[in-house]
């Protein structure tokens, strides 16, 4: 198990923004993964997508790694942020913008504002 943990740590450390998801950002395989990837894509965030369906060890390992039972899981600068519900709430409240700004992650502020306007 420690091999999987170190493998996941390397994945998390390899990019500023990492999304562990079912499927890929181009072809999500579940609605929750699709929503989070869609938000990140729409906001123009450069992120790595890790398809947990391609590796059962990673699929279970990421749940143990974060102590979070569901997928997708978003990491920003090595820090676990949350799953679909948390990312949705953070997007609508503006907290995701603040996190990206604090961590120095580039994103499209106008796109983020449009998401909030559409969901007001």
Binding residues: 30
Q: Is the peptide bond before 72 cis (omega within 30 degrees of 0)?
A: yes
CA distance 77 to 65: 16
β-bridge mates for residue 76, sequence order: 17, 79
Location of structure tokens 């090595």: 78
What end-to-end distance do the CA atoms of the chain give, in Å?
44
Binding-site positions for [2Fe-2S] cluster read 30
């Amino acid at each position: 198990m420690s091999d999987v943990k170190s493998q996941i740590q390397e994945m998390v450390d390899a990019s500023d923004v990492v999304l562990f998801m079912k499927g890929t950002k181009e072809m999500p395989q579940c609605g929750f993964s699709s929503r989070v990837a869609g938000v990140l894509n729409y906001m123009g965030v450069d992120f790595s997508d890790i398809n947990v369906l391609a590796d059962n060890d990673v699929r279970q390992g990421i749940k143990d790694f974060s102590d979070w039972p569901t997928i997708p899981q978003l990491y920003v600068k090595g820090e676990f942020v949350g799953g679909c519900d948390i990312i949705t709430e953070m997007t609508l409240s503006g907290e995701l913008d603040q996190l990206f700004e604090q961590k120095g992650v580039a994103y499209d502020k106008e796109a983020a504002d449009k998401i909030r306007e559409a969901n007001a």
